[in-house]
A = this chain, B = another copy of it.
Amino acid sequence: MPEKHYSKHKETLKKAREVIATREYWSPYPESPRAYGEDAPAAGEAAFEDRLGKRFTIDQAADYWSPGTEASPYGRDLGITYPVTEVDALLTAAQTAGEEWGRAPVKHRTGVCLEILHRLSRNSFEMAHAVMQTTGQSFLMAFQAGGPHALDRGLEAVVYAHEALTLLPKTTRWEKPQGTRDPVVVNKTWRIRPAGIAATLGVSTFPTWNGYPGIFASLVTGNPVIVKPHPATILPLAIFVETARQVLADAGFDPNVVQLAVDTAEAPIAKHLVMDPRVKLIDYTGGSAFGDWLEKNATHAEVFTEKAGVNSVIIDSATDLKGVFRNLSVSMTMYGGQMCTTPQNVFVPRTGIEVGGEPVGYDEVVAGFAGAIDGLLSDDDRASDILGAIKDAASLERLNAAASGHQVLLESREVKNVRFPEAVVRTPVIVAVDGADKDTYMREMFGPVIYVVATDSTEQSLDLATEATLRHGALTWLVYSTDPAVQERAEDAAVAAGVSVAFNLTGGLFVNQSAAFSDFHATGANPAGNSSLTDPAFIAKRFRVVGVRKPA
């Protein structure tokens, strides 16, 4: 059966191998909802609705059932309770299940993982509702980022892991000449040794997109995975676990290769889980405090983190200022600034900028920017589609506190979501600050908070963006400049700060978006995270090679 899965998805794997080398556009899982057939939307929604107010029954030993406190940012009471298994039982079961999984041929593990992705893909509508209702994303974002784009990232991890495991020949006849004497001849084989138990600590905003890469990287390299969703966003990863366990069981493997670990904000289990010496791989996406703690303290394991950051836009000059604002207004408001890639700070020289060779004053730039955002979000229905809902009460608190004592360029306003009247929807506040006021803007204000930072020059803008990146991390820089010298200087600054950079985006590509098989998500080179999704370094230490030598 796992062999059959491998054959079935062989072409997908082959194409993925090609594309991670060319980095060209490719996505095997359609991002258009229309591609899934006429019945899919209703069936997916019905499947989601059918989960509500019930036990999430999977074939995993349940010591008790979780309290079902997962609430939707759209105001719905999901009322789903999950099986809770004690940490030690999870670890013991993972170890047992991991033995056969770790010994299975690479093709079998790869085949099973490809089939999991395939089945998840067929289920993208249900997943979209699960992601939407737990994260507060708009439906379309939840569909794309929670479904096909997350699956792309998962497949990317599968193919990188498969590459890493198939670098060595099955056997080698090693023959060393000895002059006139007989050569020394040894037959060598290499055995893959998985690292051990992997734990994935899920994030509340993009649980599948950020979770799949580590999960699939660990699985293909032979490690059993314990998936601990964020206590406020359980359902999407629970659906993943359910699907994975079904495919594993169908293929004759112990389903405990993938297990669900559910906890609550009041009684978190993450530390207990990851500090167990049997856990050798930890994938974490979330706040910096816990990520930093993991990097420093979980030295018995390989730790892969994606944390928080302060992303920057640097405006130096442009040909199409309207295009600049059009692009920025979308990228900075999409999902209410709750993407780790959303720009937060917009650096603009006090002396103004050049547009098509003509000077445009600071005030005009700033007014144009604020106006573009105001315009984009003026209609409540459109604003709801763009902003989604605010996931975390802390984001609302930050929003409410951000303006205090500062010049406000655009007030935040409440938006009414007609379909979900309880949803907490806010347009961003835009605050003007001086470059010197680092305490205000040089910190992560996750959520709908935008700072426009007045600087002495583009040079200073780059210096401040660099400082913010080195101190607090960053996932993205976006630079607007028509001057090749400035572009070169900005690119070098981005490399030094270890942050990916985009230039002059005015069309339909937004800096927040990172595409599987092409863009690396995070660099691993600044405090926003110690690793990149998905590159060879994300795979390399998830397994080891044991050499076996026998005389020929």
For A188, give its contact among B181, B496, B518 (CB under 8 Å): B518
A507-529 interface bits toward B, Cβ cutoff 8 Å, 1 = contact, 0 = none:
11100000100111001110000
Look across to chain B and name the residue whose beta carbon is closest to the beta carbon of A168: B23
* Chain A stretch 269-315: residues in CB contact (< 8 A) with chain B: 295-296, 299
Which residues of chain B have C-beta atoms less than 8 A from A173's C-beta?
A: 24
Q: Is the CB of A551 within 8 A of B506?
A: yes
A457 interfacial contact with B, CB 8 Å: no
Q: Is the CB of A193 within 8 A of B498?
A: yes
Q: Is the CB of A523 within 8 A of B546?
A: yes
Q: Is the CB of A495 within 8 A of B23?
A: no
Q: How far is the CA of A546 from the CA of B499 in the complex (A)?
A: 6
Q: Is the CB of A500 within 8 A of B550?
A: no
Q: Is the CB of B536 within 8 A of A24?
A: no
Q: Is the CB of B175 within 8 A of A25?
A: yes
Q: How far is the CA of A546 from the CA of B498 in the complex (A)?
A: 6
Look across to chain B and name the residue whose beta carbon is closest to the beta carbon of A541: B537
Q: Is the CB of B503 within 8 A of A551?
A: yes
A176 interfacial contact with B, CB 8 Å: yes
A420 interfacial contact with B, CB 8 Å: no
Q: How far is the CB of A361 from chain B (nearest CB, A)?
A: 26
Which residues of chain B have C-beta atoms less than 8 A from A499's C-beta?
A: 546
Q: Is the CB of B525 within 8 A of A193?
A: yes
A409 interfacial contact with B, CB 8 Å: no
For A24, give its contact among B172, B491, B548 (CB under 8 Å): B172
Q: How far is the CA of A525 from the CA of B551 in the complex (A)?
A: 25
Known pairs A23-B188, A299-B299; A520 contacts B547 (CB<8 A) = yes
Q: How far is the CB of A487 from chain B (nearest CB, A)?
A: 8
A549 interfacial contact with B, CB 8 Å: yes
Interface residues of A, CB < 8 Å — how many?
Answer: 64
A533-552 interface bits toward B, Cβ cutoff 8 Å, 1 = contact, 0 = none:
00111001100111111110
Q: Is the CB of A504 within 8 A of B168?
A: no
Look across to chain B and name the residue whose beta carbon is closest to the beta carbon of A299: B296
Q: Is the CB of A491 within 8 A of B548?
A: yes
Q: How far is the CA of A176 from the CA of B509 in the complex (A)?
A: 10
For A509, give its contact among B184, B195, B544 (CB under 8 Å): B184
Known pairs A188-B518, A523-B193; A21 contacts B546 (CB<8 A) = no
A41-69 interface bits toward B, Cβ cutoff 8 Å, 1 = contact, 0 = none:
00000000000000000000000000000
> Chain A interface mostly helix, strand, loop or mixed?
mixed
Q: Is the CB of A501 within 8 A of B548?
A: yes
Q: Is the CB of B536 within 8 A of A164?
A: yes
Q: How far is the CA of A503 from the CA of B550 in the complex (A)?
A: 5
A169 interfacial contact with B, CB 8 Å: yes
Q: Is the CB of B548 within 8 A of A191?
A: no
Which residues of chain B have C-beta atoms less than 8 A from A547's C-beta?
A: 500-501, 519-520
For A545, give its contact among B491, B509, B532, B540 (CB under 8 Å): B532
Which residues of chain B have C-beta atoms less than 8 A from A191's C-beta?
A: 491, 495
Q: Is the CB of B515 within 8 A of A544?
A: no
Q: How far is the CB of A502 from chain B (nearest CB, A)?
A: 4
Q: How far is the CB of A97 from chain B (nearest CB, A)?
A: 15
Q: Is the CB of A509 within 8 A of B540?
A: no
Q: Is the CB of A505 within 8 A of B551?
A: yes
For A495, give its contact among B175, B193, B506, B550 (CB under 8 Å): B193
Look across to chain B and name the residue whose beta carbon is closest to the beta carbon of A535: B545
Q: How far is the CA of A301 from the CA of B21 in the complex (A)?
A: 28
A16-40 interface bits toward B, Cβ cutoff 8 Å, 1 = contact, 0 = none:
0000011111000000000000000
Q: How far is the CA of A466 from the CA of B175 in the complex (A)?
A: 30
Q: How far is the CA of A513 from the CA of B515 in the complex (A)?
A: 45
Q: Is the CB of B22 within 8 A of A169?
A: yes
Q: How far is the CA of A505 from the CA of B547 in the complex (A)?
A: 15
Q: How far is the CB of A178 from chain B (nearest CB, A)?
A: 7
Which residues of chain B have C-beta atoms less than 8 A from A178's C-beta?
A: 508
A393 interfacial contact with B, CB 8 Å: no
Q: Is the CB of A536 within 8 A of B540?
A: yes
Which residues of chain B have C-beta atoms less than 8 A from A518's C-beta?
A: 172, 174, 188
Q: How far is the CA of A115 from the CA of B381 in the complex (A)?
A: 66
Q: How far is the CA of A503 from the CA of B299 in the complex (A)?
A: 34
Q: How far is the CB of A318 from chain B (nearest CB, A)?
A: 12
A418 interfacial contact with B, CB 8 Å: no
10 CB-based A-B contacts, threshold 8 Å: A22-B172, A24-B175, A25-B174, A25-B175, A501-B547, A503-B548, A506-B551, A523-B544, A536-B540, A540-B540
Extra inter-chain contacts (4) besides given A501-B548, A535-B545, CB under 8 Å:
A295-B299, A296-B299, A299-B299, A491-B548
CB-CB nearest 9 A-B residue pairs: A537-B540, A525-B544, A502-B549, A500-B547, A23-B172, A540-B540, A25-B176, A503-B550, A523-B544
